């Protein structure tokens, strides 16, 4: 049940996030576009759900026991979710992260008491990649588990049981489409599977940033990437275990500029301060909404994910020098 009932403990603050009708995007699409406010989770991102799901699953299997340690490789948000859940349950956290992620995420992880290991950003095939480093560290640390968010399907299960069920309830069973970008793929696969189980006609679209390989995979069956993106937390180059069997009906490729434009508009016109993956998701939701309108669906309703708070990117997305250095348009109100 979604509402303002008292929660029995802090972990119950994860999930049951609000859903908001987005005005500008709805107008642009010509139908209702809804944003699931995942920035309202205690760790301010969608990844709190996966963190809790993975930890509860490891406990249920008997892999994680009193005083144990959780090790994970992450772009940041999963680490923040794991550190919060671990603190609440008495576990230790070790996070391995590429050193090109936002300084806010690093500072947050340190502030939460996680042990932070920074590695240079490398290709997945490199043995020093943050994912492989975290697996090795977990093997070497006594009483530790490796969360393995990319290939541990407890991640997507959190979205089947949580996010999808909540969307269905919040929209009273009237939802025509859902889309979001993929990092691990847990959100798109889990929400897609969960919604299809309620109603097989709900259209599920993957929204891919440039530089990721999933758009071409779902369009042509071949993993191929073009260009690049500065969006953190999204952009996958392989079919993770979480993505296996994801019910993707259609796909869109969205540029950073288009995503940033929606980040700017949502902030200035609707008072929402978000990260870039949310802007890319909203642009994808508009594309899906238009497609559903064109296909003759009456007043379609599309939902997407507002993944994390923009406060996590003050030194990047909301910083003039950073935007200029990346060759990206500077928000009008940051120009002088």
Asked whether 80 and 109 are in contact (CB, 8 A), the reply is yes
Order the strands of the 32-37 sheet from edge to edge: 19-21, 32-37, 301-306, 177-180, 203-209, 250-254
Instruction: Find the part of the chain contacting ligand PMP (CB under 6 A) among 109-117, 171-179, 182-190, 296-304.
Output: 182-190
Q: CA 255, CA 220: separation in Å to the nearest integer? A: 20
Between the CA atoms of 121, 124, 125 and 126, what dihedral angle is there, to the nearest 10 degrees? 30
CB nearest ligand PMP: which residue?
Answer: 233
Asked whether 86 and 72 are in contact (CB, 8 A), the reply is no
Please tell me whether residue 47 binds ligand PMP under the rule CB under 6 A. yes
Tell the smallest beta-carbon distance from residue 190 to ligand PMP (Å).
8
- Residues in binding contact with ligand PMP, number by CB under 6 A: 19
Task: Give the count of beta carbons closer than 10 Å to the beta carbon of residue 65.
Answer: 11
Compare residues 31 and 84 and give the one whose CB is closer to ligand PMP. 84
| Contact with ligand PMP (CB under 6 A) among 82, 234, 254, 306 | 234
| Contact with ligand PMP (CB under 6 A) among 93, 108, 187, 203 | 187
Please tell me whether residue 192 binds ligand PMP under the rule CB under 6 A. no
Please tell me whether residue 16 binds ligand PMP under the rule CB under 6 A. no
Please tell me whether residue 230 binds ligand PMP under the rule CB under 6 A. no
Active site residues: 47
Asked whether 71 and 146 are in contact (CB, 8 A), the reply is yes
Q: CA 112, CA 285: separation in Å to the nearest integer? A: 34
Looking only at the bridges linking them, the beta strands covering 19-21 and 32-37 are: antiparallel
| Contact with ligand PMP (CB under 6 A) among 148, 163, 184, 203 | 184
Compare residues 187 and 316 and give the one whose CB is closer to ligand PMP. 187
Please tell me whether residue 48 binds ligand PMP under the rule CB under 6 A. no
User: Which x/- pattern over 84-113 shows residues binding ligand PMP (rule: CB under 6 A)?
Assistant: ------------------------------
Q: Does an H or E element contain 23, and which?
A: helix 23-29
Beta bridge partners of residue 179, listed in sequence order: 205
313 in helix, strand or coil? helix
| Contact with ligand PMP (CB under 6 A) among 79, 162, 177, 233 | 233
Compare residues 31 and 264 and give the one whose CB is closer to ligand PMP. 264
Structure tokens at 262: 């929606």
Sign for the CA dihedral angle at 73, 77, 78, 84 comes to positive
Compare residues 264 and 306 and give the one whose CB is closer to ligand PMP. 306
| Contact with ligand PMP (CB under 6 A) among 26, 45, 101, 133 | 45
CB half-sphere exposure, 8, CA atoms < 13 A: 0
Q: CA 57, CA 51: separation in Å to the nearest integer? A: 10
274 in helix, strand or coil? strand
Please tell me whether residue 183 binds ligand PMP under the rule CB under 6 A. yes
Please tell me whether residue 166 binds ligand PMP under the rule CB under 6 A. no
Tell the smallest beta-carbon distance from residue 188 to ligand PMP (Å).
6
Structure tokens at 247: 């019910």
Compare residues 148 and 277 and give the one whose CB is closer to ligand PMP. 277
Compare residues 31 and 37 and give the one whose CB is closer to ligand PMP. 37
Binding-site ranges for ligand PMP (CB under 6 A): 45-47, 75, 77, 181-187, 232-234, 275, 277, 307-308
């Amino acid at each position: 049940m979604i509402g303002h009932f008292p929660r029995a403990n802090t972990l119950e603050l994860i999930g049951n996030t609000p859903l908001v009708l987005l005005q500008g995007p709805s107008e642009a699409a010509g139908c209702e576009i809804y944003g699931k406010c995942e920035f309202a989770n205690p760790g301010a991102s969608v990844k709190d759900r996966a963190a809790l799901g993975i930890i509860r699953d490891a406990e249920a299997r008997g892999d994680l026991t009193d005083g144990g340690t959780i090790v994970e490789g992450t772009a940041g948000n999963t680490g923040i979710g794991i550190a919060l859940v671990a603190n609440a349950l008495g576990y230790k956290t070790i996070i391995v992260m590429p050193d090109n992620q936002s300084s806010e995420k690093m500072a947050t992880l340190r502030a939460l008491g996680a042990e932070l290991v920074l590695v240079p950003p490398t290709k997945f095939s490199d043995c020093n990649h943050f994912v492989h480093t975290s697996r090795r560290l977990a093997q070497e640390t006594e009483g530790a588990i490796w969360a393995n968010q990319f290939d541990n399907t407890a991640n997507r299960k959190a979205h089947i049981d949580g996010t999808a069920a909540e969307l269905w309830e919040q929209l009273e069973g009237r939802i025509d489409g859902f889309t979001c970008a993929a990092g691990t793929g847990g959100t798109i696969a889990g929400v897609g599977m969960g919604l299809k189980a309620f109603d097989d006609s709900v259209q599920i679209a993957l929204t891919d940033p440039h530089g990721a390989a999933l758009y071409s995979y779902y369009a042509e069956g071949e993993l191929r990437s073009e260009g690049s993106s500065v969006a953190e937390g999204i952009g996958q180059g392989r079919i993770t275990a979480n993505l296996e069997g994801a019910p993707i009906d259609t796909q869109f490729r969205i540029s950073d500029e288009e995503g940033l434009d929606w980040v700017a508009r949502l902030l200035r016109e609707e008072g929402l301060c978000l990260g870039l993956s949310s802007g890319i998701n909203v642009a994808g939701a508009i594309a899906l909404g238009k497609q559903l309108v064109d296909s003759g669906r009456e007043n379609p309703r599309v939902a997407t994910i507002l993944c994390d708070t923009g406060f996590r990117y003050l030194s990047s997305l909301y910083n003039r020098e950073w935007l200029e250095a990346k060759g990206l348009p500077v928000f009008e109100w940051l120009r002088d």
